[in-house]
Chain A
Amino acid sequence: MDYVSPFDERRRVAEPLAPRRSSLEGARIALLDINKRQGDRFLDRIEERLRSRGAETFRVVKEIFSKPAGPEIVRRIANRGDLVVEGLAD
């Protein structure tokens, strides 16, 4: 029996993972705060630990947690960072 699918049946190809780094020494790490309550507390602690291992960090904040990061945010991370850590919260 033939049916009309409610789905978008285009095949999705998984993006390959970026190469893993062997060390955090000298890595530039974006800390993405999605702007959800207490996410900053989590990222503060992560930032402290990353810096203690020789990484350079910088913070980027989304306008609102429930919408995808805009192109400007993505550009800032891509231009400056080697890695990104995103802080979910609540």
Chain B
Amino acid sequence: MTSEALIAAPEFSLASVAGGSVTLEELHASGPALVLFVSEECPTCVLTLRRLGPLVEELTGAGLRVAAVFEDALEVAARVARRTGFSGVVLSEPSPYDVSRAYSLDSLPTAVLVDRDGRQAGRVVGWDADGLGALLSVPVTDEAPTRKPGCAAKSTYDAESLRALDGASAFDELEEMFERGWTDGLPVIPPTPSRVDDMLGGRDPDEFLGDMAPAMARVTLERIAACAVLAGCRPDYFPVVVAAVQAALEPVFNVGGQAVTTQPVGQVVVVNGPVRETIGLNGGVGALGPGWRANMTIGRALRLVVSLTGGGFPGRLDRSALGQPGKVGLCFAEDEEVSPWEPLHVSRGFPAGRSVVTVFGADAPLSISDHRSTGPEELARVLGEAAAATWSPNWWPLGGTSLFVICPEHARSFAEWGWSKQRVREAIFEAVRRPAAALRWGETTPLVGAAADDQPIGKWSSPEEIVLVVAGGEAGRFSAVFGPCLGMNAEVISKEVPWTT
């Protein structure tokens, strides 16, 4: 500690992240103040803020105001303070850093203790646990390192360096989102309070929907709205996003397990009912994307709730070995008007006129071409045999629900042949069987291991594990199947859309 006692501390008035400006006089009006000069780029400054952060409350209680003066823009100061858990006064000093110059700073961090008469009572340069403990008269953590030098203060830069620095630090709102990590890797819409308010549409932001694993984060309407804004949703999509999140929060969906598993699973959202028309959700050509805002952004909003709010971020707690494009988000409408069968939500017990969201924990979709089948048994078998390869070719039975998206041409053929949806499900179920002996290579189930050689084993345990929805372009005989998320006991969940816009 270098004593600077009795030297007057230069006065300043600086912008505060809390709004307005704060002067040095205000800081020491009723007692001493600690003024801590820092910058985002300096690792020692970040360490100092992290370590002094937990002491701020105690120091304030003892009558010492603690203020950090950032040689950074206000937004940057706010972010760094938030990230480091620093809860003191946060101020921003503009270039060319006249306040730092007035204090004759050489390097950051520099902590200056100002007494209540506005005199410098001492200063500590760099991280110096003992020095700060003596300056503040409180024990400071003795965690290593106990001493660490900092970086040059920006006030020491020459004019040319400052110009380069100012050019580089121009605030870019979209880049800011990447810096914060509020993204899935694609650009997002910044969730400003006004955008989030529009998304909420007057609803209570603090309404609590549940805790989401793995972070066990409190999921509120406001956080869902923030994710919906980030994803690019329009406010009229919001009730559909909320229904999807409500479904994902059901404990039997086990979203925490799905979020962290090494299997590359995402959450697929199927929407039925009048809301499809209201918000322009596509169930026709290209239904699985890309190309339609509602489809792309609703699915993405759910995934952002899982990966940001819920903590299942890829490469961190999400350990998905490969990932897959569907993990960005996948939402589509069933084309109920083209389907010859009852829609999914009706099969699941909802009245036809209601808007309902159904979520599946699902693997990547597998496209299935069939332009040649001449009868329903043959077409059902093609669909089933394609699904036989999902999870792993010899893992029978799957132990989960497969979601088939039947294209309109395939659906029409089944209808012309007089087959109901249930009959197609049963035919797919019946068609995919093998004797146990044929499945005994590679990854096999305990059931296959224990069965007699000629015992027939099915890919599914019952037709109930086969779900069919109709979607896709009017021409083209390409259906698809989503293999299930396994090992999670994840059930398929439906929720009614809670309000209309």
Contact = CB atoms under 8 A, between A and B. Distances in A.
B401 to A, nearest CB: 16
A20 B219 CA distance: 36
Interface-centre pick from A2, A3, A65 (highest chain B CB count, 10 A): A3
Nearest to B488: A66
Given A66-B254, A67-B254, A5 B215 contact: no
Contact of B309 (A6, A64, A68): A6
Interface string A52-87: 000000000000111110000000000000000000
Contacts of B273: none
B173 interface: yes
A6 B190 contact: no
Contact of A3 (B171, B192, B218, B488): B192
Given A66-B261, A66-B487, A6 B192 contact: no
A11 interface: yes
Interface string A1-31: 1111111111100000000000000000000
Interface stretch (B147-155, B222-230, B465-473): B222-230
A3 B173 CA distance: 10
Contacts of B230: 6
Contacts of A4: 191-193, 196, 222, 225-226, 229
A6 B227 contact: yes
Nearest to B228: A6
If over half of B's interface residues share one DSSP class (helix, strand or loop), that class is named, otherwise mixed; here it is: helix
Interface in B298-327: 304-305, 308-309
A65 B223 contact: no
B304 A6 contact: yes
A1 B225 CA distance: 18
Given A1-B192, A11-B85, A6 B257 contact: no
A7 B308 contact: yes
Given A6-B304, A8-B215, A1 B309 contact: no
Contacts of B396: none
Contacts, number: 68
Nearest to B181: A7
Contacts of A36: 487
* Category for how many chain A residues contact B: 10 to 19
Interface string B168-195: 0001010010001010000000111100
A9 B180 CA distance: 13
If over half of A's interface residues share one DSSP class (helix, strand or loop), that class is named, otherwise mixed; here it is: loop
B75 interface: yes
A73 B446 CA distance: 26
* Category for how many chain B residues contact A: 35 or more
Contact of B190 (A1, A8, A10, A68): A1
Interface-centre pick from A1, A9, A11, A68 (highest chain B CB count, 10 A): A1
B60 interface: no
Contacts of B222: 4
Contact of A6 (B176, B256, B308, B489): B308
Nearest to A9: B82
Contacts of B173: 1
B489 A66 contact: yes
B1 interface: no
A66 B226 CA distance: 28
Nearest to A37: B446
Contacts of A8: 215, 217-219, 223, 309
Contacts of B309: 6-8
Interface in B239-295: 254, 256-257, 261
A6 B488 contact: no
Interface string B228-239: 011000000000
A36 B254 CA distance: 17
Interface string B487-499: 1110000000000
Interface-centre pick from B191, B213, B304 (highest chain A CB count, 10 A): B191
A70 to B, nearest CB: 12
A1 B180 CA distance: 13
A16 B95 CA distance: 43
Nearest to A64: B489
A16 to B, nearest CB: 14
Nearest to B87: A11
A21 B257 CA distance: 33
14 contacts: A3-B192, A3-B193, A3-B226, A4-B191, A4-B229, A5-B223, A6-B223, A6-B226, A6-B304, A6-B308, A7-B223, A8-B223, A11-B85, A67-B254
Given A6-B230, A8-B215, 19 more contacts: A1-B192, A2-B192, A3-B190, A3-B193, A4-B193, A4-B196, A4-B225, A6-B223, A6-B304, A6-B305, A6-B309, A7-B223, A10-B218, A64-B489, A65-B487, A66-B254, A66-B489, A67-B256, A68-B256
Interface of A: 1-11, 36, 64-68
Interface of B: 75, 82, 85, 171, 173, 176, 180, 182, 190-193, 196, 213, 215, 217-219, 222-223, 225-227, 229-230, 254, 256-257, 261, 304-305, 308-309, 487-489
What 9 A-B pairs have minimum CB-CB distances, sorted nearest first? A66-B257, A8-B217, A6-B226, A4-B196, A4-B226, A6-B308, A4-B191, A66-B488, A6-B227
